[in-house]
Structure 1
Protein backbone atom coordinates (compact mmCIF):
# COMPACT_ATOMS: atom_id res chain seq x y z
CA UNK A 1 0.00 0.00 0.00
CA UNK A 2 1.33 3.40 -1.02
CA UNK A 3 1.75 6.07 1.62
CA UNK A 4 -0.32 9.10 0.68
CA UNK A 5 1.64 12.34 0.69
CA UNK A 6 0.51 15.88 1.43
CA UNK A 7 1.70 17.09 -2.00
CA UNK A 8 -0.75 14.71 -3.71
CA UNK A 9 -3.82 15.97 -1.83
CA UNK A 10 -3.11 19.61 -0.98
CA UNK A 11 -4.57 22.61 -2.76
CA UNK A 12 -1.76 24.18 -4.74
CA UNK A 13 -1.37 27.95 -5.00
CA UNK A 14 -3.85 28.74 -2.24
CA UNK A 15 -5.60 32.07 -2.09
CA UNK A 16 -3.79 34.32 0.38
CA UNK A 17 -4.17 37.74 1.94
CA UNK A 18 -1.83 40.31 3.37
CA UNK A 19 -2.00 41.30 7.03
CA UNK A 20 -3.36 44.76 6.24
CA UNK A 21 -6.44 43.50 4.38
CA UNK A 22 -9.61 44.40 6.23
CA UNK A 23 -11.62 41.74 7.98
CA UNK A 24 -14.62 42.68 5.82
CA UNK A 25 -12.64 42.18 2.60
CA UNK A 26 -11.22 38.85 3.79
CA UNK A 27 -14.70 37.67 4.78
CA UNK A 28 -16.08 38.59 1.36
CA UNK A 29 -13.19 36.76 -0.33
CA UNK A 30 -13.85 33.63 1.71
CA UNK A 31 -17.56 33.67 0.88
CA UNK A 32 -16.98 34.42 -2.82
CA UNK A 33 -14.35 31.67 -3.21
CA UNK A 34 -16.04 29.19 -0.84
CA UNK A 35 -13.01 28.75 1.40
CA UNK A 36 -12.66 28.64 5.18
CA UNK A 37 -9.07 29.68 5.78
CA UNK A 38 -6.52 32.06 4.29
CA UNK A 39 -2.77 31.96 4.77
CA UNK A 40 -1.46 35.44 5.55
CA UNK A 41 1.67 36.48 3.64
CA UNK A 42 3.84 39.52 4.18
CA UNK A 43 6.55 40.00 1.55
CA UNK A 44 6.04 36.38 0.42
CA UNK A 45 6.64 35.06 3.95
CA UNK A 46 3.94 33.19 5.87
CA UNK A 47 3.14 35.24 8.97
CA UNK A 48 -0.23 33.83 9.96
CA UNK A 49 -3.49 32.17 9.09
CA UNK A 50 -7.05 33.40 9.44
CA UNK A 51 -10.20 31.30 9.41
CA UNK A 52 -13.77 32.15 8.61
CA UNK A 53 -14.50 31.54 12.29
CA UNK A 54 -11.93 34.23 13.19
CA UNK A 55 -13.66 36.65 10.82
CA UNK A 56 -17.12 35.82 12.19
CA UNK A 57 -15.88 36.22 15.74
CA UNK A 58 -14.28 39.57 14.98
CA UNK A 59 -17.51 40.83 13.44
CA UNK A 60 -19.49 39.69 16.47
CA UNK A 61 -17.01 41.32 18.86
CA UNK A 62 -17.16 44.58 16.90
CA UNK A 63 -20.96 44.58 17.09
CA UNK A 64 -21.10 43.98 20.85
CA UNK A 65 -21.61 47.24 22.71
CA UNK A 66 -21.17 49.40 19.60
CA UNK A 67 -23.79 51.78 18.33
CA UNK A 68 -24.77 51.55 14.69
CA UNK A 69 -22.80 54.67 13.69
CA UNK A 70 -19.54 53.39 15.13
CA UNK A 71 -20.01 49.86 13.81
CA UNK A 72 -19.27 50.65 10.14
CA UNK A 73 -16.10 52.54 11.02
CA UNK A 74 -14.92 49.89 13.44
CA UNK A 75 -15.30 47.03 10.96
CA UNK A 76 -13.82 49.04 8.10
CA UNK A 77 -10.61 49.59 10.11
CA UNK A 78 -10.17 46.12 11.60
CA UNK A 79 -7.39 44.24 9.79
CA UNK A 80 -6.39 40.62 9.48
CA UNK A 81 -3.19 41.38 11.41
CA UNK A 82 -5.35 42.00 14.49
CA UNK A 83 -7.22 38.67 14.36
CA UNK A 84 -4.93 36.19 12.59
CA UNK A 85 -3.16 33.32 14.30
CA UNK A 86 0.52 34.21 13.95
CA UNK A 87 3.18 31.59 13.20
CA UNK A 88 0.75 28.82 12.25
CA UNK A 89 1.55 25.13 12.43
CA UNK A 90 2.83 24.03 9.01
CA UNK A 91 3.84 20.90 7.15
CA UNK A 92 6.05 20.09 4.16
CA UNK A 93 4.75 18.59 0.89
CA UNK A 94 6.66 15.32 1.35
CA UNK A 95 5.10 14.50 4.73
CA UNK A 96 2.40 11.85 4.88
CA UNK A 97 -1.31 12.52 5.17
CA UNK A 98 -1.12 10.66 8.49
CA UNK A 99 1.40 13.20 9.79
CA UNK A 100 -0.86 16.05 8.65
CA UNK A 101 -3.89 14.47 10.33
CA UNK A 102 -1.95 13.97 13.58
CA UNK A 103 -0.92 17.64 13.62
CA UNK A 104 -4.49 18.77 12.97
CA UNK A 105 -5.78 16.58 15.81
CA UNK A 106 -2.99 17.58 18.19
CA UNK A 107 -3.52 21.31 17.68
CA UNK A 108 -7.30 21.08 17.02
CA UNK A 109 -7.06 22.89 13.69
CA UNK A 110 -8.69 22.28 10.33
CA UNK A 111 -5.84 23.02 7.96
CA UNK A 112 -2.10 23.39 7.55
CA UNK A 113 -0.17 25.71 5.25
CA UNK A 114 2.30 23.64 3.23
CA UNK A 115 5.80 25.09 3.06
CA UNK A 116 8.70 23.90 0.93
CA UNK A 117 12.14 23.57 2.50
CA UNK A 118 13.03 27.23 1.88
CA UNK A 119 9.84 28.36 3.61
CA UNK A 120 7.85 29.28 0.50
CA UNK A 121 4.10 28.60 0.67
CA UNK A 122 3.24 25.95 -1.95
CA UNK A 123 -0.18 24.79 -0.78
CA UNK A 124 -2.67 24.14 1.97
CA UNK A 125 -3.95 20.80 3.23
CA UNK A 126 -7.28 20.75 5.03
CA UNK A 127 -9.53 18.31 6.81
CA UNK A 128 -11.70 18.32 3.68
CA UNK A 129 -8.74 17.11 1.60
CA UNK A 130 -8.12 14.28 4.05
CA UNK A 131 -11.81 13.40 4.03
CA UNK A 132 -11.68 13.14 0.21
CA UNK A 133 -8.91 10.56 0.62
CA UNK A 134 -10.95 8.59 3.16
CA UNK A 135 -13.99 8.58 0.87
CA UNK A 136 -11.88 7.41 -2.06
CA UNK A 137 -10.55 4.53 0.01
CA UNK A 138 -14.05 3.59 1.22
CA UNK A 139 -15.30 3.55 -2.35
CA UNK A 140 -12.43 1.27 -3.36
CA UNK A 141 -13.12 -1.13 -0.48
CA UNK A 142 -16.80 -1.32 -1.48
CA UNK A 143 -15.74 -2.35 -4.98
CA UNK A 144 -13.49 -5.12 -3.61
CA UNK A 145 -15.13 -6.51 -0.48
CA UNK A 146 -12.90 -9.60 -0.39
CA UNK A 147 -11.50 -8.79 3.06
CA UNK A 148 -13.86 -8.25 6.00
CA UNK A 149 -13.15 -5.36 8.31
CA UNK A 150 -10.85 -6.43 11.14
CA UNK A 151 -13.32 -5.42 13.84
CA UNK A 152 -16.03 -7.80 12.61
CA UNK A 153 -15.98 -11.35 13.87
CA UNK A 154 -16.24 -14.09 11.29
CA UNK A 155 -18.30 -17.14 12.01
Structure 2
Protein backbone atom coordinates (compact mmCIF):
# COMPACT_ATOMS: atom_id res chain seq x y z
CA UNK A 1 0.00 0.00 0.00
CA UNK A 2 1.17 3.45 -0.74
CA UNK A 3 0.13 6.48 1.24
CA UNK A 4 0.54 8.28 -2.08
CA UNK A 5 -2.44 6.57 -3.71
CA UNK A 6 -4.92 9.21 -4.78
CA UNK A 7 -8.24 9.95 -3.10
CA UNK A 8 -9.92 9.65 -6.53
CA UNK A 9 -9.11 5.92 -6.62
CA UNK A 10 -10.92 5.13 -3.36
CA UNK A 11 -13.62 7.77 -2.89
CA UNK A 12 -17.32 7.24 -3.49
CA UNK A 13 -18.26 9.29 -6.54
CA UNK A 14 -21.55 11.19 -6.76
CA UNK A 15 -22.47 10.72 -3.10
CA UNK A 16 -26.05 10.97 -1.89
CA UNK A 17 -26.61 14.68 -1.10
CA UNK A 18 -29.35 16.81 0.37
CA UNK A 19 -30.20 20.53 0.15
CA UNK A 20 -30.01 22.67 3.32
CA UNK A 21 -33.80 23.09 3.52
CA UNK A 22 -34.38 19.32 3.46
CA UNK A 23 -36.16 17.81 6.48
CA UNK A 24 -33.69 16.44 9.04
CA UNK A 25 -35.98 13.47 9.63
CA UNK A 26 -36.18 12.72 5.89
CA UNK A 27 -32.37 13.02 5.68
CA UNK A 28 -32.02 10.52 8.53
CA UNK A 29 -34.38 8.10 6.77
CA UNK A 30 -32.45 8.54 3.50
CA UNK A 31 -29.14 7.77 5.24
CA UNK A 32 -30.60 4.65 6.85
CA UNK A 33 -32.14 3.47 3.57
CA UNK A 34 -28.88 4.03 1.64
CA UNK A 35 -26.65 2.61 4.37
CA UNK A 36 -24.58 5.79 4.74
CA UNK A 37 -23.64 7.66 7.90
CA UNK A 38 -23.10 11.09 6.38
CA UNK A 39 -24.28 13.19 3.45
CA UNK A 40 -22.88 16.33 1.90
CA UNK A 41 -25.26 19.28 1.91
CA UNK A 42 -25.32 21.24 -1.36
CA UNK A 43 -27.13 24.39 -2.45
CA UNK A 44 -29.16 24.80 -5.65
CA UNK A 45 -25.97 25.52 -7.62
CA UNK A 46 -24.38 22.31 -6.37
CA UNK A 47 -21.94 24.09 -4.05
CA UNK A 48 -21.00 22.27 -0.86
CA UNK A 49 -22.38 24.17 2.13
CA UNK A 50 -22.16 21.55 4.87
CA UNK A 51 -22.23 17.93 5.93
CA UNK A 52 -24.86 16.12 7.99
CA UNK A 53 -24.29 12.88 9.87
CA UNK A 54 -26.61 10.36 11.43
CA UNK A 55 -25.12 11.19 14.82
CA UNK A 56 -25.88 14.93 14.29
CA UNK A 57 -29.53 13.99 13.89
CA UNK A 58 -29.54 11.36 16.65
CA UNK A 59 -28.15 13.92 19.11
CA UNK A 60 -30.99 16.27 18.21
CA UNK A 61 -33.49 13.49 18.92
CA UNK A 62 -32.20 13.05 22.49
CA UNK A 63 -32.43 9.52 23.82
CA UNK A 64 -36.04 8.36 23.94
CA UNK A 65 -36.68 5.70 26.58
CA UNK A 66 -40.00 4.39 25.33
CA UNK A 67 -42.30 4.41 22.30
CA UNK A 68 -44.08 7.61 23.37
CA UNK A 69 -40.79 9.50 23.76
CA UNK A 70 -39.61 8.09 20.41
CA UNK A 71 -42.76 9.44 18.70
CA UNK A 72 -42.29 12.82 20.35
CA UNK A 73 -38.61 12.96 19.32
CA UNK A 74 -39.51 12.17 15.71
CA UNK A 75 -42.28 14.80 15.79
CA UNK A 76 -39.87 17.45 17.12
CA UNK A 77 -37.26 16.48 14.56
CA UNK A 78 -39.80 16.65 11.72
CA UNK A 79 -39.82 20.45 11.96
CA UNK A 80 -36.06 20.79 11.75
CA UNK A 81 -34.05 21.21 8.56
CA UNK A 82 -30.66 19.83 7.65
CA UNK A 83 -29.26 23.39 7.79
CA UNK A 84 -30.09 23.58 11.51
CA UNK A 85 -28.11 20.44 12.36
CA UNK A 86 -25.34 20.23 9.74
CA UNK A 87 -21.69 21.16 10.17
CA UNK A 88 -21.29 24.20 7.89
CA UNK A 89 -18.24 24.66 5.67
CA UNK A 90 -16.76 21.23 6.35
CA UNK A 91 -13.14 20.30 5.88
CA UNK A 92 -12.62 19.04 2.31
CA UNK A 93 -9.97 17.34 0.23
CA UNK A 94 -9.20 17.25 -3.51
CA UNK A 95 -9.45 14.05 -5.56
CA UNK A 96 -5.79 14.44 -6.55
CA UNK A 97 -4.62 14.52 -2.92
CA UNK A 98 -3.06 11.44 -1.38
CA UNK A 99 -4.82 8.90 0.81
CA UNK A 100 -2.14 9.62 3.42
CA UNK A 101 -3.14 13.29 3.49
CA UNK A 102 -6.84 12.37 3.74
CA UNK A 103 -6.18 9.97 6.62
CA UNK A 104 -4.03 12.51 8.47
CA UNK A 105 -6.69 15.21 8.05
CA UNK A 106 -9.41 12.89 9.37
CA UNK A 107 -7.36 11.89 12.40
CA UNK A 108 -6.37 15.48 13.18
CA UNK A 109 -9.94 16.81 12.81
CA UNK A 110 -11.51 13.73 14.43
CA UNK A 111 -13.92 13.19 11.54
CA UNK A 112 -14.79 9.97 9.76
CA UNK A 113 -15.24 11.36 6.26
CA UNK A 114 -14.29 14.22 3.98
CA UNK A 115 -16.21 15.65 1.02
CA UNK A 116 -14.03 15.60 -2.09
CA UNK A 117 -14.09 18.92 -3.92
CA UNK A 118 -12.37 19.80 -7.21
CA UNK A 119 -12.48 23.35 -8.56
CA UNK A 120 -15.25 24.21 -6.14
CA UNK A 121 -17.49 21.29 -7.14
CA UNK A 122 -18.37 18.27 -5.00
CA UNK A 123 -17.12 15.15 -6.83
CA UNK A 124 -17.21 12.53 -4.08
CA UNK A 125 -16.68 11.60 -0.48
CA UNK A 126 -13.84 9.66 1.15
CA UNK A 127 -14.50 7.91 4.43
CA UNK A 128 -12.60 5.87 6.97
CA UNK A 129 -14.36 2.82 5.49
CA UNK A 130 -12.87 3.61 2.06
CA UNK A 131 -9.40 3.90 3.58
CA UNK A 132 -9.92 0.65 5.46
CA UNK A 133 -10.87 -1.03 2.14
CA UNK A 134 -7.50 0.12 0.76
CA UNK A 135 -5.66 -1.27 3.80
CA UNK A 136 -7.56 -4.58 3.63
CA UNK A 137 -6.92 -4.98 -0.11
CA UNK A 138 -3.22 -4.30 0.44
CA UNK A 139 -3.03 -6.85 3.25
CA UNK A 140 -4.85 -9.40 1.09
CA UNK A 141 -2.39 -8.79 -1.75
CA UNK A 142 0.57 -9.17 0.63
CA UNK A 143 -0.97 -12.37 2.02
CA UNK A 144 -1.37 -13.66 -1.55
CA UNK A 145 2.31 -12.91 -2.27
CA UNK A 146 3.37 -14.76 0.88
CA UNK A 147 1.28 -17.82 -0.05
CA UNK A 148 2.62 -17.91 -3.64
CA UNK A 149 6.27 -17.56 -2.60
TM range (shorter): 0.7 to 0.9
1:79, CA displacement in angstroms? 0.9
Measured in 2, the distance between the counterparts of 1:134 and 1:73 equals 42
Residue 73 of structure 1: CA displacement? 4.4
Deviation at 1:59, TM superposition (A): 1.2
Matches within 5 A, 1:70-109: 71=73, 73-109=75-111
* Residues 1-155 of structure 1: pairs in structure 2 closer than 5 A: 3-43=4-44, 44-60=46-62, 71=73, 73-117=75-119, 119-145=120-146
Query: Judging changes above 3 Å, is the alpha-carbon distance between structure 1 residues 23 and 142 closer, same or farther for their aligned structure 2 residues?
Result: same
- Number of matched pairs: 142
Cα distance, 1:33 vs. partner? 0.3
Q: Tell me the C-alpha RMSD between the 2 structures.
A: 2.1
**CA–CA distance in 2 between the matches of 1:35 and 1:51?**
9
| Secondary structure of residue in 1 paired with 2:42 | strand
Say which one has the larger Rg. Answer: 1
1:24, 1:108 → 2: CA distance?
Answer: 25
**Aligned-pair CA distance for 1:75:** 1.8
TM-score, normalising length from structure 2? 0.87
| Aligned partner of residue 144 in structure 1, secondary structure | helix
* Residue 145 of structure 1, CA deviation: 2.7
Distance (Å, rounded) in 1 between the aligned partners of 2:35 and 2:114:
17
Q: Residues 3-32 of structure 1: CA distance to partner in whole angstroms, max 9, x if unpaired?
A: 310001000000000111111100100010
Write the deviation string for residues 101-136 of structure 1: whole angstroms up to 9, x where unpaired: 00000000000000012x000000000000000000
State the 4+ residue runs in structure 1 displaced beyond 3 angstroms.
67-73
Q: CA deviation at 1:95?
A: 0.3
